Chain A
Amino acid sequence: MARLSLRHLSKRFGTHAAVHDLTLDVADGELMCLLGPSGCGKTTTLRMIGGFAAPDAGDIQINGRSVVALPPERRPTAMVFQRYNLWPHMTAAQNIAFGLRLRRLPRGQIEAKVRDALGLVGLPGAGHKYPHQLSGGEQQRVAVARALVLEPQILLLDEPFSNLDARLRVHMREEVKQLQRAVGITTVFVTHDQEEALTIADRIAVMKDGVLQQVDTPAALYARPRTLFVADFIGTMNLLPARIEAGAVAAGPWRLPAAGGLRPHGGEATLAVRPEDLVLDPAGAPVRVRRVVNLGHYLQVLLECPGVAPLRMFTEKGASLEEGQGVRVRISRALLFSGPDVAELGGPMRPPVAAPAEAP
């Protein structure tokens, strides 16, 4: 069906580069999430794909054909905007039918398609309602229906569920994922919610300040972040200042043996440790329990260690830990960021499914 390819895309507003040299390939039928903090250029990227903003440099190709010269109405894309989607002077059904009418479909066919689309997003009875008679979530769903009904080759979603309550958001997320699988439509999904990205994306593209940081599957992104920013941004991560010494890395009370080849970049480095990679072990370093939070099926423990900021540890519920208690903790796995280099230290990678994402 449709492959999307962004080649060295750049867009600046005045002197500020909203998107800088972004190259990204989205495979046919893939759901790609653009993830990053507010203002990092996600919407700008999506708008360039949809044809609402012209890139200053670079190319956008759909199935190998450049579309940068085409206006939005001639691109095989459909967009759901972050806000203000529906035309207020048309009912939900008229909103959905607008694009079909432009394509001069017969009346009966339009009606059938509109009915199907409304059913698809779970609003079978809402056709006659005006947007101001719909809740924010219902409006977004009608907007999704309006985009899907045209059977576009590429679906662009800009934080479509950001103004839904938490339950509905999770529900809609599942729905969209299922829909997207069923229709097999190539999708670019913008979000700043990493949990959303981790749960629905086939692959995630992490952006920061207009620059693409890393593109990977959720599992790989979690287990092997390639930059300190991604390490910190995805999931929960403890960051410790570290020193590279001969054959070892020293961070706080720990010394981790390191295989050769670690280059000291001025000796300054950062050790990144997932909370689940901190394990209770009589042979570990001595630390003190500051606080224990019961998060259902696991405990989050805040540890006080000499020389570093408090660390977060996830541990099984059975562990009997009390606040103020002294314990011994070992680092089973860690990533060392030193200049541009990343090194993996310690044991085998843990499956990311066991790791709960940061509670919202």
Chain B
Amino acid sequence: MSVGWYWAVGGLRRAVALGAFLALAAFILGPLLTLLLWAFAGSWLFPNLLPEFSLKWWAYVLGNADVTKAIRMSFLSAPAATLLSAVICIPAAYAFARLEFPGRRVLLLSFLSANAFPKIGLYVSIATLLYRLNLMDTFAGVVLIQVINTLLFMIWIPTGTFRGINRNLEEAARDVGAGPLRTFFQVTLPIALPGLLVALLFAFLAAFDEAQGTLIVGTPNHITMPVMMYTLVLSYPQPVGAVFSVLLSLPSLVFLLVAQRYLRAGYLAAGYSL
């Protein structure tokens, strides 16, 4: 066989490496492939190794009013939560990175603490607050609960990113005549962009995947895809769940492709002082 040379040349180390690689690939890609198979499967009868290709489950899922509503809800609330989070957190992160003020460390840690404890308690107490504010079962309520989930990423990653940008670069911009705002938008922000993109990606996924809090705050009328998933898994045929999972992973895929383009830009490392 043609693999003979491989063993002859490579020896044991290569064999082990290849084995590990295949195992890893199977471990990661296996479930994904199964999902894809299920999502595009028509009837899958006994002697056939592969099911026949069909979009019928897609038609079924996308034709279900409850499901499309959840999809719409997810694709509206998660970007809204990410944007809101960015608008609040990026300036805060800049302040954490650049300003020395009393309580800075404690405040920074408090953003971590939101993720350090079981969330369900936090969600319940927030729910009582939202109830008083008449925000239960509203779009705004869902967005708020998702924002909470993004805070960790949108504070910590940008703070680190801004810290890594040498102050001289900002001072040089001031020196040639740019004011503080222009310096931020034309120098700091573009240099920080790769780091901020990573933060946006994580924040979006955190918001998009959020189910616990949304379930508490959004039912019955503001259901997102992950929440819908609970119902689907229990009461619909298996391929529906697969189709849904593929839909759920689409945003991450798109985001990864976009981010990768930016992350490859050559200047990435140059502005950071290590």
- The secondary structure that dominates the B interface is helix
> B186 to chain A: which residues have CB within 8 Å?
98
Partner of A103, one of B173, B177, B191, B267: B177
CB of B190 to closest CB in A, whole Å: 5
Whether A89 contacts B175 by the Cβ 8 Å rule is no
Q: Contacts A130-B267, A131-B270; is A85 near B168 (CB within 8 Å)? A: yes
Q: What's the Cα separation between A102 and B168 when bound, in Å?
A: 19
Indicate whether B259 reaches chain A with its CB closer than 8 angstroms. no
CB of B274 to closest CB in A, whole Å: 11
Whether A73 contacts B270 by the Cβ 8 Å rule is no
Q: What's the Cα separation between A260 and B223 when bound, in Å?
A: 101
Indicate whether B187 reaches chain A with its CB closer than 8 angstroms. yes
- Per the 8 Å Cβ criterion, residues 106-135 of A in contact with B are 130-133
Residue of B nearest to A72 (CB): B174
> B190 to chain A: which residues have CB within 8 Å?
89
> A133 to chain B: which residues have CB within 8 Å?
266
Partner of B266, one of A85, A103, A130: A130
CB of A110 to closest CB in B, whole Å: 13
Whether B191 contacts A78 by the Cβ 8 Å rule is no
Q: Contact string, A54-90, partner B, CB cutoff 8 A, digits 1/0? A: 0000000000000000011100011101111111110
Q: Contact string, B219-239, partner A, CB cutoff 8 A, digits 1/0? A: 000000000000000000000
Indicate whether A150 reaches chain B with its CB closer than 8 angstroms. yes
Indicate whether B176 reaches chain A with its CB closer than 8 angstroms. yes
Q: What's the Cα separation between A177 and B219 when bound, in Å?
A: 74
Residue of B nearest to A146 (CB): B176
- Which of A52, A103, A143 has most B Cβ within 10 Å? A52
Q: Contact string, B149-172, partner A, CB cutoff 8 A, digits 1/0? A: 000000000000000001011011
CB of A241 to closest CB in B, whole Å: 45
Whether B187 contacts A87 by the Cβ 8 Å rule is yes
> A84 to chain B: which residues have CB within 8 Å?
166, 168-169, 271, 273
- Which of A50, A84, A102, A130 has most B Cβ within 10 Å? A84
> B271 to chain A: which residues have CB within 8 Å?
84, 87-89
Whether B176 contacts A88 by the Cβ 8 Å rule is no
Indicate whether B97 reaches chain A with its CB closer than 8 angstroms. no
- Which of A51, A72, A133 has most B Cβ within 10 Å? A72
How many residues belonging to B are interface residues under a CB distance threshold of 8 Å?
Answer: 24
- Per the 8 Å Cβ criterion, residues 222-251 of A in contact with B are none
CB of A81 to closest CB in B, whole Å: 4
Residue of B nearest to A133 (CB): B266
> A252 to chain B: which residues have CB within 8 Å?
none
Partner of A83, one of B168, B175, B177, B266: B168
Whether A72 contacts B267 by the Cβ 8 Å rule is no
Indicate whether A99 reaches chain B with its CB closer than 8 angstroms. yes
Q: What's the Cα separation between A39 and B168 when bound, in Å?
A: 18
B interface residues, Cβ below 8 angstroms from A: 166, 168-169, 171-179, 182, 186-187, 190-191, 193, 266-267, 269-271, 273
23 of the cross-chain contacts (CB-CB < 8 Å) are A50-B175, A52-B171, A52-B174, A71-B179, A72-B171, A72-B174, A73-B177, A77-B175, A78-B175, A81-B172, A83-B166, A85-B172, A88-B267, A88-B270, A89-B193, A102-B176, A102-B177, A102-B182, A103-B177, A130-B266, A132-B266, A132-B267, A150-B177
Query: With contacts A83-B273, A87-B172, A89-B191 known, what are 5 further pairs, Cβ within 8 A?
Result: A51-B175, A73-B178, A79-B171, A79-B175, A147-B175
